[in-house]
Structure 1
Amino acid sequence: MLKKVLIPVAILLSVPAIGWAQTDVKTDVTRADGSVTASGSATAVATITAIDAANRKITLKGAGGKVTDMTVGDEARNFDQLRVGDKVTVQYNEALTVSLKKGSGPLSMQEKPIEQRAEAGAKPGGTVGREVTVVAQVVAVNKDAKTVSVKGPKGHVVDLIVEDPDQLKNIKKGDRVQAVYTEAVAVSVTPGAGK
């Protein structure tokens, strides 16, 4: 339904931070009456080849042989549990759901953090991300061009391309559109072979 939904998903799935590793990318688009969800995930695995404990830096080597150094912030628990040879898995998830909400009400934007840290003493890992919910107003519908223009709470107007004509027939100027965007990065560490 929304080409512009898929473009940000594709861009964000090519996250440079995980470009050094073998990456498995998956995308999906789900349509329902009055809504569409575009989601994607990218998973990368690398091996720790060196650890600089004093500076909280690790060197990672991906399946393709590319090597990169990363600094692990103080907020990451259990740095001392890392060992050379451990496997680091990074999974990036992203989803955007856009749905038609009939009726009136204020335009709004709410952001909620997503956080989960590894337990003390466990291998380092956790999830960090955010969920943003925006309610915008439809300011124009162009069925010939297959676009819907929406204005958000900060006054910005965005044109959404709607490929499915069945979705367009229920939208009119003045309607509300709700968009929920979530993104999260999960990192886990597993012991290397022979550990």
Structure 2
Amino acid sequence: MRSLKTSSLAALFALVATGAGAQMTKTLTGEMKTETATVEAIETSTREVTLKKSDGTYTVARVGKEIKRFDTLKVGDKITAKYYDNIVLRLKAPGEPDTDTKTASTTRAAEGQAAGTVGAQRTITATITAIDQSVPSITFKGPNNWTYTSRVEDKAALAKVKVGDRLDITWTAAMILSLDGQ
């Protein structure tokens, strides 16, 4: 969750353009995505599973010890993940303290069920460190020297923010994982 989508930045500037008297929080709702992958390799000592996604690319997932059915996975198993995320942007008042929090949760499937859930939320305060009207683009800096630069679609809205403005960015993600055929 270390990156923002360009569309989210465009929405931020639509938020800023509404003016000081308007609500200063914007939720950017994501969409439910479904991905099915095939187990290609299992490394039991590190609890890592190599998955081949439907587009042919590979990814490695580390399976936490809270997942009790890890030992039932086999090469060739199909895993389906339903994924949803959203982003909330909130302009901060001058002098308001910075935020840097993260939470995560895992829910195991009930006995005999093949699905479980994973959720995570991260909120950081980021400061606008650069604005380039010619591109147009904006650069943010957050905790641990996290930086992010993105194009912005709405030049007029970009003109309404300035270097030094701060905002809270909250990413929330949830995933339902199921082992197909069980």
TM-score (norm 2): 0.59
Deviations 1:114-139 (A, max 9, x none): 322212x2313211132111111222
Does the residue aligned with 1:113 lie in a helix, a strand or coil?
strand
Counterpart of 2:97 (choices 103, 106, 109) is: 106
Deviations 1:53-109 (A, max 9, x none): xxx9x9x99989xxxxx9976522467999xxx974222334344443342333332
Q: Percent identity?
A: 28
Asked whether 1:188 is paired with 2:178, we answer yes
User: Is there any run of 5+ residues in structure 1 with no aligned partner, and where?
Assistant: 8-27, 49-55, 65-69
Where does structure 2 lack aligned partners over 5 or more consecutive residues? Answer: 17-25, 40-46, 56-60
User: Residue in 2 aligned with 1:142?
Assistant: 132
| Aligned equivalent of 1:90, options 69, 72, 81 | 81
Structure number with larger C-alpha Rg: 1
- Give, in whole Å, the separation in 2 of the partners of 1:95 and 1:146: 24
Matched length: 164
- Tell whether the 8 Å contact from 1:131 to 1:180 is kept in structure 2 after alignment: yes
Query: Which shifted more, 181-190 or 127-136?
Result: 181-190
Alignment-derived partner of residue 10 in structure 1: none
Q: Which protein, 1 or 2, shows the higher relative CO under an 8 Å CA cutoff with sep ≥ 6? A: 2
Q: 1:190 to 1:99 in 2, by over 3 A?
A: same
Taking structure 1 as the reference length, the TM-score comes to: 0.56
Alignment-mate amino acid for residue 5 of structure 1: L
Q: Cα RMSD (Å) of the superposition?
A: 4.6
Residue aligning to 2:107: 116
Deviation at 1:110, TM superposition (A): 0.9
Aligned to 2:4: 5
